[in-house]
């Protein structure tokens, strides 16, 4: 099986559209926004699997739900139109300390400068999460909810109170992989091919059905009574 190329065109601090309050034309990160670049940075590659992960930055700068999901819907539906056979994966927004309004109001964080990305509270981001899940259903895609898994675990976030550390990143990656793997049989093709070629069964791998036979053989080899 020929290995396919993988492309990562994510941009730190990126937002979904120019309507996001934190968007600033010419400022790398927020610009170009997703809706300004997805044709070039995603569809043009004609991928078998598409992964979009938006919501964190838009919610942190207070982008209204209707506007955010409207832009996201345009992107995702156009992606489905251009790539009818691709698996579309939408990863929901990550949990962030900023969503804990009480913690965010403490002097430790009030002294930090976040500019327009300073909206506290979780009402907006949880609304995003629900809407993204529904949007995924519209295009027959796969939604990955990472918010609930990360919520209340600040030790997974770096000292900047925003980006996840190596453990946090690993957990997020594993969650996405597990969601994809349990719904995409092609990921097991290599393992199943090996199984068939080597004629592997529970009898020659020590599986549950072979337990009694394996134990008896071990006892005999040690001179024990069966």
Other C-beta atoms lying within 10 Å of the C-beta of residue 212: 9
DSSP-derived 3-state class of residue 87: strand
Query: What does pTM read for this prediction?
Result: 0.83
- CATH code for the part of the protein at 34-183: 3.40.50.1110
> With pLDDT > 90 as the criterion, what percentage of the chain qualifies?
66
Domain positions in the chain are 34-183, 190-221
CA atoms within 13 A of residue 121's CA, in its CB half-sphere: 6
Q: pLDDT tens for residues 125-181?
A: 999 999 999 999 999 999 999 999 999 999 999 988 889 999 999 999 999 999 999
DSSP-derived 3-state class of residue 200: coil
């Amino acid at each position: 099986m020929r290995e396919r190329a993988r492309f990562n065109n994510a941009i730190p601090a990126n937002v979904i559209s120019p309507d996001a309050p934190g968007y600033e034309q010419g400022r790398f990160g927020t610009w170009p926004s997703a809706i300004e670049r997805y044709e070039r940075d995603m569809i043009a590659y004609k991928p078998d699997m598409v992964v979009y992960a938006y919501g964190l930055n838009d919610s942190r700068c207070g982008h209204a739900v209707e506007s955010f999901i409207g832009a996201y819907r345009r992107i995702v539906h156009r992606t489905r139109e251009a790539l009818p056979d691709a698996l579309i994966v939408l990863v929901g927004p990550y949990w962030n300390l900023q969503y804990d309004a009480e913690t965010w109001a403490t002097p430790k964080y009030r002294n930090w400068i976040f500019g327009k990305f300073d909206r506290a509270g979780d009402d907006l981001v949880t609304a995003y999460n629900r809407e993204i899940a529904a949007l995924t259903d519209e295009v027959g895609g796969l939604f990955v909810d990472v918010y609930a898994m990360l919520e209340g675990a600040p030790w997974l976030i770096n000292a900047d109170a925003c980006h996840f550390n190596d453990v946090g990143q690993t957990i997020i990656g594993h969650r996405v992989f597990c969601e994809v793997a349990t719904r995409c049989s092609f990921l097991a093709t290599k393992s199943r091919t090996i199984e068939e070629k080597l004629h592997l069964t529970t009898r020659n791998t020590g599986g549950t059905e072979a337990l009694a036979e394996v134990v008896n053989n071990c006892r005999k080899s040690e001179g024990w009574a069966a």
